[in-house]
Structure 1
Amino acid sequence: MDLILLRHGKAEDMNIGGDFTRELVEKGRDQSRRAARLLKAAKALPEIVLTSPLTRARQTADEFCQTAEIPGAVIQGWLACGMSPETALAELAAFRDFKRVAIVGHEPDFSQLIAWVLGANGGGIVVKKGSLTCLSLNPPSRYGSLVYMIPPKLAADS
């Protein structure tokens, strides 16, 4: 499967409800829409979108799906902050019949997952808000390959 990682867009600073309820700011909504337009233009849209239950991730997934004109995202508790690479691959095994799956989530979870799948121990991978990364893998098998990593600024003109 091709696993597309969409990090949530830019969100407001901490609010009264805490980290769980932080909402996207307009820049974050725009980042989500640009990611969708880029994948749509490339004919690389996911068949299914899975999202963290945190507000900013759900809003990112909603903007992405609406702009891409694809069915809405499915909330997955395992995508909440603190996801381990092992958990991600075990959970993704249930979706291995899909050719292309997108997950919407958080840092440092995404950079840790990418490093783990690529065998790139030692850090150095940073996933920016609103960026797209695609890994080719076969969960629950650990190893895969990097297909692309697109920072939000490169998706600006899509």
Structure 2
Amino acid sequence: MRGHFREKGIDQAQKVARFCEAHDMQLSLILTSPLRRAHETAKPMAAALRAELMIVPWLASGMHPEAALEELRAYRSQTSVMLVGHEPDFSQLAAHLLGLPTNNAIHVRKGSLTLLELDVFRAGAATLQFSLPCKLM
């Protein structure tokens, strides 16, 4: 069964990459969790989108939104950064960036593409542009 989930993750990553290409989404950097499934998901996207891929330990499962926001400050000179990691971490991070008191009002699905714009690196400063599950791409 483990191989099935791995194949599904790679298929979803390729689908997301094709969607990004088709909609001319330019990425300067993809940051990925060091955990194997996330890294294996990020590799085909980085190749297809010709983006630099960097493994960062803070994206490992159990990431705290405040710590992630602090780590993201180091990449503020990048025009567009994609994060590849885990749930419920991303829903918690999205809620934090959007200024929501909890992540009950937002759920970032596995294999989805969520775009948050952030000009100022602080909680509540992000704008949600979209969140698309893989099945709609």
From 34, 54, 70, the counterpart of 1:53: 34
Task: Give the structure 1 partner of residue 10 of structure 2.
Answer: 29
Structure 1: which 5+ runs fail to align? 1-10, 14-22
**Residue number among 85, 98, 106 corresponding to 1:118 in the alignment:** 98
| Higher RCO (C-alpha 8 Å, min separation 6) | 1
| Structure 2 CA distance for aligned equivalents of residues 12 and 133 of structure 1 | 26
Aligned partner of residue 25 in structure 1, secondary structure: helix
Of Structure 1 and Structure 2, which has the larger fraction of its residues in helix?
Answer: 2
TM-score (norm 1): 0.79
Q: Which residue of 2 aligns with 1:153?
A: 135
Amino acid paired to 2:136: L
Say whether the 8 Å CA contact 2:98–2:127 is kept in structure 1: yes
Change (3 A) 1:60 1:139: farther
Give secondary structure in 2 for the equivalent of 1:120: coil
Return the offset for 1:41: 1.2
RMSD: 1.9
The match for 2:2 is 12
Runs of 5+ in structure 2 lacking a partner?
none
TM-score (norm 2): 0.90
Q: Deviations over 1:74-115 (max 9, x none)?
A: 000000011111111111111101110011000011000111
